[in-house]
Amino acid sequence: MTQSPPQRLQTERLILRAWRTTDAPIFNLAMPGPDVAKRIDKFDRDFRSNTAWGYAIFSTGEAQLYGGITLRRSVELGAMELDFWLQQSWTKQGFATEAVKAVTELAFSQPKVQRVRILCGAKNDSATGVARRAGYRERAPGEWDITRSGAMPVDTANKAPSRGAGRAWLGAIAAAIVIGALAAYKLLPR
């Protein structure tokens, strides 16, 4: 993620706002659990460091918290991943689809992003329905994606090397070049 994301996105019926440490009490009402303040603090730090962009999904006026949505880098070159959740009482009203469309548009506003992917349980009918309604296509059970208009399809095997894997990746390329050269000069046994 190279460009700084907006702190706030607005759709027809929603406000998507970066999580703030002051959101811990309302987050705890929606998703109770241990260390809520630490989780919200991590959302805030990740957002500020451009590691992951987590947004709270609110009604207009920020009167009601519906859920959350996060956009992060994928291990695939030119791709980002999106995940989301909604409180049960706010499902089946189109809020998740509206939020997914807005964050997908944000992803495609980033340089070099050609694909956005949603990973969800293959039997999670709500999430797969949201992905479908937002224009994503199923690539495999539980894996949905959408590509930038006019983009070449991204090869899922074309993964960026993880930290520390760069040398191994370059070594594999060098080995392939050497093997190819040896084969070209018929120096390899058949």
Which pLDDT band, with edges at 50, 70 and 90, does 43 fall under?
very high
* Contacts (Cβ under 8 Å, ≥6 apart) of 143: 117, 118, 119
pLDDT for position 67: 95
Quote the percentage of the chain above a pLDDT of 90: 53
Structure confidence at residue 34 (pLDDT): 86
pLDDT, averaged across the chain: 80
pLDDT digits (tens, 9 = 90+) for 97-145: 999 999 999 999 998 999 999 998 888 899 999 999 999 999 999 899 9
Higher pLDDT, 160 or 51: 51
Cα atoms in the 13 Å half-sphere on the side-chain side of 143: 6
Q: What confidence tier does 174 reach under pLDDT thresholds 50, 70, 90?
A: very low
> Which of the two residues, 55 and 37, has the higher pLDDT score?
55
Tell me the C-alpha distance between 190 and 177, whole Å. 18
- Residue 155 CB neighbour total at 10 angstroms: 9
Indicate the helix (H) or strand (E) that contains 41. Answer: helix 36-48
Q: Give the separation between CA 15 and CA 61, rounded to whole angstroms.
A: 7
Q: What is the pLDDT of residue 167?
A: 39
DSSP string, 75-142: SBTTEEEEEEEE-GGG-SSSHHHHHHHHHHHHHHTSTT--EEEEE--TT-HHHHHHHHHTT-EEEETT
What are 66's two structure tokens? 């519906």
User: Which uninterrupted H or E stretch holds 104?
Assistant: helix 95-108
pTM for this one?
A: 0.76
Reported as a pLDDT band with limits 50, 70 and 90, residue 2 is low
- For 110, the 3-state DSSP assignment is coil
The answer to whether residue 77 scores a pLDDT higher than 90 is no
Confidence of residue 8 (pLDDT cuts 50, 70, 90): very high
What separation in angstroms does the CA of 19 have from each of 6, 44, 118, 165? Answer: 12, 6, 21, 32
